[in-house]
Structure 1
């Protein structure tokens, strides 16, 4: 039997309020070996959630972003038994700079794919959740992508140019196939905003497992559609990063993917 989302939600909310909000815009940052930023808030949330989940669900291990890669690889061998996948603070650069867009992302992986997803934005008190085959919710209300018949040229897009191949990034910047552009800096929360129709198409060149595990489930359970740039399914239970091409429905995804495939680029993202 799966853990109950109604039990997980208040746990994640309480830890976010106690560990993230008091540190927001006051956190000392340091740079990790891969060039990304980490703060004490990342480690505090991971410690708190790891301990709380261990007490409630001792049979389930936790893979966290702020964990040794060798340990992460070891844990990925236990997917059949169930494995929590945690990004304790997605949007750390935003958090450290005082930019109000960050979240906690938690997924339960079981077998080949995520079966539960929870993304919590403590500043807006918005909790996005999903259970495989059961649907997606925002603060307990059913979440469904609206499938208005918008052409790609009328859509609002979220695009992470930083992690795209330079040729593709330049082509998109010079000849955008969408109406307007936003990029907000928290992959997990961007998946959820796409599910909530706050923009209609999404592109990211490189996300790690903890960036997309919960958000991809929330989007697909809300009726959205996503693949990699190569047209492969998003979820792959491993540490290598994955590209993301996503939209609010399959029709729009097809238009978006075709537009990207037609643009020149200099190699894999």
Structure 2
């Protein structure tokens, strides 16, 4: 893996424990890969669609497989986008975080920019993340104490000059005049802006130098927890601001002079 970041280990855990968690996360993230690939581009009506949000049968089918994979190998509770807490809620302790299909709208419309995401966290500290880009057959896995891999291969980071920022407008985004002005201020210092419709994939690509930064306001913990762990593995500066992991967060990740 890429070089781990020097930081205090979480209470009661060793590097070996975190490597074991990374293995579990990686296996869980790919658990639904086959059904998601098979279901892509199929004209299936959404389960529900409210405002800017969409829910697909694929979200729920993927969640069942990922949660089952985690419960088979770990006793910790799981926070998942579709079902909420599975097991006794423990937002301040060790828990898993699952986004079974990040980029659901892309998936529904046949846009190949979507992923599954699994994180192992201690409170608001992402320790391990695994993101499966199932349509490109790439699984990103790692954390601040264990480094970073793609499909089991060590990532060699080149740390290019910061030029490209990824962002988006989440379901709970601020579309007011003030919100748009803040957005314009954010992107003004970057050469290029990319909105791909998947926070998880955006953060994975930041971690491996395909993008150079990521910012999004009003995003949820399950959208970003795995990606923040990968960003930590890459040594990037990150902020996730908000009252709790159950509330919308303002997230910013960047390297170098943009951090």
What are the equivalent positions in structure 2 for 1:16-165 lying under 5 Å apart? 16-17=33-34, 19-26=35-42, 27-32=44-49, 35-57=52-74, 59-68=75-84, 71=85, 75-77=88-90, 79-80=92-93, 82-143=94-155, 145-148=157-160, 150=161, 155-161=163-169, 163-164=173-174
Gaps of 5+ in 2: 1-16
Whether 1:240 and 2:240 are equivalent positions in the alignment is: no
> Which segment is superposed worse, 179-188 or 7-16?
7-16
Alpha-carbon deviations, 1:211-262, whole Å to 9, x = none? 111100101211111225xxx5x8x75211111222133x221xxxxxxxxx
Between the aligned partners of 2:148 and 2:65, the Cα distance in structure 1 is 26
Between the aligned partners of 2:51 and 2:224, the Cα distance in structure 1 is 19
1:22 alignment partner, SS class: helix
Alpha-carbon deviations, 1:17-74, whole Å to 9, x = none? 2x201111213213355641111111001111222222222x2222210015xx57x8
1:29 alignment partner, SS class: coil
Hey, which bits of structure 1, 4+ residues long, moved more than 6 A?
none
Kindly indicate whether structure 1 or structure 2 has the higher relative contact order, using CA contacts under 8 Å at least 6 residues apart. Answer: 2
CA-CA distance at 1:108 after TM superposition: 1.2
**Structure with the greater alpha carbon radius of gyration:** 1
Between the aligned partners of 2:180 and 2:51, the Cα distance in structure 1 is 22
Gaps of 5+ in 1: 254-269
Q: Aligned Cα RMSD in Å? A: 2.7
Whether 1:252 and 2:258 are equivalent positions in the alignment is: yes
Alpha-carbon deviations, 1:168-221, whole Å to 9, x = none? 524655983221221100001111111122121222112111011110010121
Which structure has the highest helix share of the two? 1
Gap change, CA 1:247 and 1:51, over 3 Å in 2: same
TM-score, normalising length from structure 2?
0.80
